[in-house]
Amino acid sequence: VITLYEISAPPIPIEGMLQNPRAAMWTEIDMAELSGSFLSAIKGPFDLRMSMARFLARTVVRSTWGKQRQLDQIITSDVLLGCFARMIVMPADFIDQLALESRQPAIMSLHFEVPENDARQRLDERSAYS
């Protein structure tokens, strides 16, 4: 997804990606997908961005592009969807570009504009699968 959108540095432009899908991805966003719980989860800095990232991940998985790549068969739960959303906003290549001492949740939160808890989870996920 990052390569397709030719993104070379954080922060990932989530809103722009949703508004400007690449060919064969989706034609329009179904705003009915945004529920009241979407906004009720906003409690801290970057929470809205992370909610939008989960919405983007869900949209990508359900898109023609995602189905062609069998993402709908791989990402079958909210837990996996959250992992995918974190992968989109904090790509492994971008994390690897950070100095080792910068690979901490507080620093990554600011660098990628994500909640600190999501940065922590992304680091945990990377270490579990590395």
pLDDT in tens, 40-92: 566 788 998 999 999 999 999 999 899 999 999 999 999 999 999 999 999 99
3-state secondary structure of 57: helix
* Closest to 18 in 3D by CA, of 5, 36, 6, 3: 5
Answer whether 56's CB lies under 8 Å from 50's CB: no
Q: How confident is the model at residue 128 (pLDDT cuts 50, 70, 90)?
A: confident
Pairwise CA distance, residues 58 & 36, whole Å: 17
Pairwise CA distance, residues 26 & 116, whole Å: 30
pTM of the predicted model over 0.75: yes
pLDDT at 23: 79
Answer whether 23's CB lies under 8 Å from 125's CB: no
Taking 90 as the threshold, does the pLDDT of residue 36 lie above it? Answer: no
